[in-house]
Chain A
Amino acid sequence: MTRRPTDSQRIDHAVSAVLEDRQVALPPPLADELSAARALRADLPLVPPGDAFEEALARRLSDVHTHNAAGWVSGFVRHHQRLVLTGALGSVVVSTAGAAVLAWRLAHRP
């Protein structure tokens, strides 16, 4: 057995029809609400902001992202400076040792 839809459900579906510009009718107790919905559909337009505001905010959002990325890198370096320094020194020592071994091998080649 199916339950009858409530008035709120009937209004909600009628509003969907109004928003999609489809024809719909409701009996008198709900007809006033439907008229109000049609008036809203006709006379409550989107109000776009100015183009200058749109582009300025788009730039601001893009800048926030760029600053966030730069901030992440500098934050990582600051937070892990000992690790970064050890890594850099280690890589210098290993490359110097590698170069020295290579030079010694080349010098003592039979």
Chain B
Amino acid sequence: MREPRPLQRPADQPALEAPAPRDPDLADVRAAQRDRHAFDRLYRRYLDRVYSYAFYQLADHHDAEDATERTFLAALAAIDGFRDEGSTFRAWLFRIAHNAIANSHRARRRRRTQPITDARQQAAPGADPAGVVARADQQREIRAALARIPAERRQAILLRFVDGLSAREIGAVLDRSEGAARVLLHRALRDLAGELDRGDA
């Protein structure tokens, strides 16, 4: 699902600033600007990632569906306004998703509803039941640890690990520089490691 990004150096000798990445979606964005039916390709490509980003933050399938729908409708309406100027389509799309999710949080505070638990992740047929339970426990532990770290750090982790965005793209989504996004991700991982340790203890 994730597109590999080739690195020029070994992991322990990183470049100080990476060059601006070429947007892999640009041809499809241009096609969608000429003919809106071509937007379907972008929709199918990013549906799971946008939905996962919303689900992990809202912890409710209905709210996640609502935020996902508003994200894609807004993206389709604004696609003509997208310009390839230093950022990528997916950073632009996740910026829209980020705003849709923030609106859902505000609406939820007004409604004061309780999120329901995830009932959709089901085991594959024939899977070892003990392994499935252990895996589900690990996933629950990770999600509980994520829920305890500050919201912006959690968003950085989700954008990096679930959606595969680079530090530069995360910066564009969260309105920060590439360096600040990297620091945010580092702190998020440090917080998460602490929370996981606490859970083990």
Q: State the A residues within 8 Å of B (CB).
A: 3, 5-17, 19-20, 22, 24-26, 32-33, 35-37, 39-50, 53-54, 57-58, 60-62, 64-65, 68
What are the nearest 3 A-B pairs in CB distance? A13-B14, A33-B189, A32-B193
Q: List 26 A-B contacts (CB under 8 A).
A: A5-B13, A7-B186, A8-B186, A9-B16, A9-B182, A13-B9, A19-B2, A19-B160, A25-B12, A26-B12, A33-B186, A35-B196, A37-B189, A40-B161, A44-B139, A47-B55, A48-B48, A48-B52, A49-B47, A49-B65, A49-B68, A50-B120, A57-B72, A60-B69, A61-B39, A61-B43
Contact of B142 among A12, A17, A26, A40 (CB under 8 A): A40
- Return chain A residues, CB-CB under 8 Å to B1: 46
Q: Is A16's CB under 8 angstroms from B11's CB?
A: yes
Given A16-B5, A32-B190: A41 and B161 interface contact (C-beta under 8 Å) = yes
Q: Is A8's CB under 8 angstroms from B182's CB?
A: yes
Cα of A15 to Cα of B49 in the assembled complex, Å? 18
For the residues of A in contact with B, the DSSP-based class is: helix
Interface presence of B56 (CB below 8 A): yes
- Return chain A residues, CB-CB under 8 Å to B192: 36, 40
Given A20-B5, A58-B43, A68-B36: A43 and B139 interface contact (C-beta under 8 Å) = yes
Contact of B183 among A8, A10, A35, A41 (CB under 8 A): A8
Q: Is A15's CB under 8 angstroms from B160's CB?
A: yes
Q: Is B7's CB under 8 angstroms from A33's CB?
A: no
Given A12-B167, A16-B5: A36 and B193 interface contact (C-beta under 8 Å) = yes
Q: Is B162's CB under 8 angstroms from A10's CB?
A: no
Cα of A49 to Cα of B193 in the assembled complex, Å? 29
- Return chain A residues, CB-CB under 8 Å to B182: 6, 8-9, 11-12
For the residues of B in contact with A, the DSSP-based class is: helix
Cα of A10 to Cα of B185 in the assembled complex, Å? 11
Q: Is B190's CB under 8 angstroms from A5's CB?
A: no
Instruction: List CB contacts (< 8 Å) of B130-166 with chain A.
Output: 135, 138-139, 141-143, 146, 157-158, 160-162, 164
Most chain B beta carbons < 10 A, residue from A3, A8, A62: A8
Given A5-B14, A5-B16: A11 and B185 interface contact (C-beta under 8 Å) = yes
B112 CB to closest chain A CB (Å) equals: 25
Most chain A beta carbons < 10 A, residue from B142, B179, B182, B189: B189
Cα of A64 to Cα of B74 in the assembled complex, Å? 11
Interface presence of B89 (CB below 8 A): no
- Return chain A residues, CB-CB under 8 Å to B44: 58
- Return chain A residues, CB-CB under 8 Å to B114: none
- Produce 1/0 per residue, B177-201, CB < 8 A to A: 0010011011001101110110000
